[in-house]
Structures are given as structure tokens and as C-alpha cells.
């Protein structure tokens, strides 16, 4: 992480930009990132999910679906991370969860200077800038280009490059440097199970003599996996909304949803009959990703369960709430989505206007379309909160002044 951090601050000082940024800066198309404030991106490639709760050994985090991710922690180094919402182990004896982003191409830069000089002008500052570009397919191609060379810089050779998410099998005998010699080490290894390829060799790049180095090799395509950047089923389907557009669909009690493993099993009579059906269209609604709440923030959707145990998945589905089959201590199995009830329409002169949120239907009664909310402090000792229908006049007692 030291090289990556140095590069980020170097670029921020030289060209402007941010080092720490929210997730939605990099993944604006994923609604789940819009409300996340307890995780952050370190540059565009690293995601950090810090432990913020005292004595906690897990983190409830969201791993964006728009890329593949690999852990940088020592005990899980290079292991592919599950995307979507999940609980991630966070031991106090190691780094917090840190993930690196990967896709079909890789490019970046490396900067090197004495690490001590104060930079007044980058035009005269002595440093090295190396551009790295990598693409893969039937042929993999690694291009290292020296963009700037600082006089008097003492830089070690590059003799090792680690590739994560490398889901092909490289033919080691085909690894070639287009100009100059490349002496492959016995430490060069490829592990298809963990999707990791370590290229170790003398002659990858010599900063004193090389301006550009191109290294290529062939891959076994028969072993290459089909890669997808879509998440598994990481939404929560509303089972009560499952409909077949024509014909009957009889849902079975075996229809289950497990958000932890991102699995949804639809079991029903009437999905498809080869003797009768030519085309069947089945639709249902989903809770949004940002509706899913961690156990400590859940509000029960079956309040009668506080008196006696009646937590029931059928009741939960009928009310349109979220069901979690996992047991959490002091947390309801059936709970309201995080976005429900009312949302803020406007605020003026200390009065907030709330409107009914149409994305979730109140299972008990119809919501008032508009409410007003005010909060005032009385002599700094009492907080006066008022919530009232905005379209109805309140009744006040008549009083006389004597």
C-alpha cells in the first residue's frame, strides 16, 4: 500500500485531485453507494471498510458490483471478495478490511524520488515516472514506459509483478520481452484456483537502461473462465409481488431468499409447462439494496412479536417487509426497510414538510400524504417536537385573557 499511497499523494500535489473519496465518486450508477458514509475509497482502486464500533470483530460493508475485488490483508491476500452487502471478519490483530479493484485491463503509474525533498516546482523537481499498461486475452501484453527520468535517482530493478484475478493459465514457455533478455525465475507461478499469477524474472525493467519494455505471453483459453461483473442476487425480492403474466403461479413454501449468500430459490407450480406453454413471463418487485439494514438498526415490522413469539415469514412477506432467516441477538427477523414512512420534501422557517414515501406501503394503514415537523428548544431545558398533518387545521382551546 505504501507505493500506492505515495503515488496518490504525488499525483494530488502535481495535478490536483483527491486521495480519499466516497464510494459514489467511483460507482455513481450503484444506488447502494449513495448513502454509505462509513467506508471510503483510497484513490480509485482501493476500498477500505474500517471498524468503527467498540469491541466489534465484524464489519457490515458493501462491496460494489461494478468491479471484481481482492483482499490485501495478509491472511486473505489475493482472495476474491464477495460483492454486495455482507458481514466481513475484522480481527483486531490485522489490518481492517482493504480490497483492491480489478477489471479486464489494468493501467497506472509509479513515482519515485528521494522521498525527502520539498517540492516547490514539479517542472524542475527530480523524480521518475513510470507508466504501466496491461491487457489480457488470448495474448497478454504488459507495457512499462519511462515517462520521466530524474537525474541522480537510485531506483532498484523491477523483478517481480503480481497479477490478481488472472483467470487464465499462462504458458510460461511463451513469455517474451520484445527487446532485451528476460531470465525467468523458478518463483514464477500461476495458481488458477486463487486466480493469481506471479511473474518473477531478471530483466523486467532497468531504470538506468530501459525507456520502454513490452512483455507478452500466450494463455490457455480452454481453462479460462467466463467472467461477469454482475452481482449475484443481492436484492431482497418481495415474494408477495411474484406474478405470472398469464396463467396461475402457485408459490411453494420452499421459495427462499438468503441475502448472506445472495441466493434466491423460486419454487412454484406453474413456472413452465412444456406441453402447454410457449412463453411465460414472471415478474416481481425488489427492495432496493440500500433498504437492507444491519441488525442493530432494524425496526420490527411485527410489533406483536414483542409480546409473544410470532415472527413469521408469511406475515413478513404479506406486509412487504424484509425477512432475515439468520438469528441475530436482540434484532428482529422481520424489519422495515431503511427507506420507508416519510421523506423530506422541503424545509423553510424551521418547519420541515414530510411527504409519504411511495416506494413502501404502510402495512397497517394509509399514511397521511403530508406532515409538518417542527422542533424547538424551550429555555434550553425542553425540546418541543410537533408532528401534524399539514393539510388539516389543528383545534385549539379557546382561552380568555383576564
The CA distance from 291 to 294, in Å, is 10
pLDDT band per the 50, 70, 90 thresholds, residue 280 = very high
- pLDDT per position as a tens digit, 335-359: 888 778 888 888 888 889 999 888 7
Alpha carbon distance 265, 179 (integer Å): 55
- Give 322: exposed, middle or buried? Use CB within 10 Å, 0-12, 13-18, 19+: buried
Q: Which domains are delineated in the chain?
A: 1-102 (2.60.40.1180), 106-218 (2.60.40.1180), 235-335 (no CATH), 342-398 (no CATH)
* pLDDT tens digits, one per residue of 167-219: 788 999 999 999 889 999 999 999 877 788 999 999 999 988 899 999 999 98
Residue 79: predicted pLDDT: 78
104-130 per-position pLDDT tens digit: 567 888 888 887 888 888 888 888 888
Query: What average pLDDT does range 370-384 have in this prediction?
Result: 88
Each residue's pLDDT tens digit, 283-311: 988 876 667 777 788 888 888 866 566 66
Residue 231: pLDDT over 60: no
Q: Which residue reads 470483530 in cell numbers?
A: 57
C-alpha cell at 34: 449513495
Backbone angles phi, psi at 154, to 5 degrees: -115, 100
Q: Band of the pLDDT at 148, cuts 50, 70, 90? A: confident
Does residue 225 have a pLDDT over 50? Answer: no
Q: What is the pLDDT of residue 3?
A: 75
Average of per-residue pLDDT values in the chain:
82
Residues 53/23, Cβ–Cβ less than 8 Å:
no
Rounded CA gap, 60 and 32, in Å?
Answer: 13
Which H or E run includes 161? strand 158-164
- CA 9 – CA 18 distance, rounded (Å): 8
Average pLDDT over residues 41-65: 86
Please choose, from the candidates 338, 333, 342, 341, the residue with its C-alpha nearest in 3D space to the C-alpha of residue 302.
333
Amino acid at each position: 500500500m505504501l507505493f500506492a499511497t505515495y503515488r496518490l499523494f504525488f499525483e494530488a500535489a502535481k495535478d490536483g485531485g483527491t486521495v480519499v473519496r466516497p464510494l459514489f465518486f467511483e460507482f455513481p450508477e450503484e444506488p447502494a453507494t449513495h448513502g454509505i458514509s462509513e467506508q471510503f475509497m483510497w484513490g480509485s482502486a482501493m476500498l477500505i471498510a474500517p471498524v468503527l464500533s467498540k469491541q466489534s470483530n465484524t464489519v457490515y460493508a458493501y462491496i460494489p458490483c461494478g468491479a471484481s475485488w481482492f483482499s490485501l490483508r495478509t491472511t486473505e491476500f489475493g482472495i476474491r471478495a464477495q460483492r454486495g452487502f455482507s458481514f466481513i471478519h475484522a480481527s483486531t490483530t490485522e489490518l481492517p478490511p482493504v480490497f483492491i479493484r480489478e477489471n479486464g485491463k489494468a493501467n497506472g503509474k509509479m513515482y519515485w524520488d528521494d522521498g525527502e525533498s520539498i517540492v516547490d516546482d514539479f517542472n524542475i523537481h527530480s523524480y521518475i515516472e513510470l507508466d504501466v499498461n496491461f491487457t489480457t486475452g488470448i495474448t497478454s501484453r504488459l507495457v512499462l514506459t519511462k515517462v520521466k527520468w530524474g537525474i541522480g535517482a537510485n531506483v532498484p530493478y523491477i523483478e517481480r509483478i503480481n497479477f490478481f484475478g488472472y483467470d487464465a493459465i499462462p504458458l510460461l514457455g511463451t513469455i517474451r520481452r520484445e527487446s532485451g533478455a528476460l531470465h525467468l525465475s523458478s518463483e514464477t507461478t500461476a495458481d488458477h484456483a486463487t486466480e493469481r499469477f506471479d511473474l518473477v524474472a531478471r530483466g523486467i525493467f532497468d531504470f538506468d537502461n530501459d525507456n520502454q519494455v513490452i512483455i507478452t505471453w500466450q494463455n490457455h483459453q480452454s481453462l479460462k473462465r467466463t467472467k461477469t461483473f454482475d452481482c449475484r442476487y443481492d436484492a431482497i425480492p418481495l415474494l408477495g409481488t411474484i406474478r405470472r403474466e398469464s396463467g396461475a403461479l402457485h408459490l411453494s413454501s420452499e421459495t427462499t431468499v438468503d441475502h448472506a449468500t445472495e441466493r434466491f430459490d423460486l419454487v412454484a407450480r406453474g413456472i413452465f409447462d412444456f406441453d402447454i406453454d410457449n412463453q411465460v413471463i414472471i415478474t416481481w418487485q425488489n427492495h432496493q439494496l440500500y433498504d437492507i439494514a444491519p441488525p442493530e438498526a432494524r425496526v420490527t415490522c411485527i410489533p406483536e412479536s414483542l409480546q409473544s413469539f410470532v415472527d413469521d415469514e408469511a406475515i413478513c412477506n404479506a406486509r412487504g417487509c424484509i425477512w432475515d432467516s439468520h438469528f441475530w441477538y436482540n434484532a428482529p427477523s422481520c424489519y422495515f426497510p431503511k427507506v420507508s414512512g416519510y421523506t423530506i420534501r422541503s424545509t423553510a422557517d424551521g418547519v420541515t414538510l414530510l411527504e409519504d414515501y411511495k416506494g413502501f406501503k404502510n402495512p397497517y394503514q394509509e399514511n397521511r400524504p403530508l406532515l409538518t415537523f417542527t422542533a424547538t428548544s424551550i429555555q434550553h431545558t425542553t425540546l418541543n417536537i410537533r408532528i401534524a398533518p399539514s393539510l388539516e387545521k389543528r383545534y385549539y382551546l379557546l382561552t380568555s385573557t383576564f
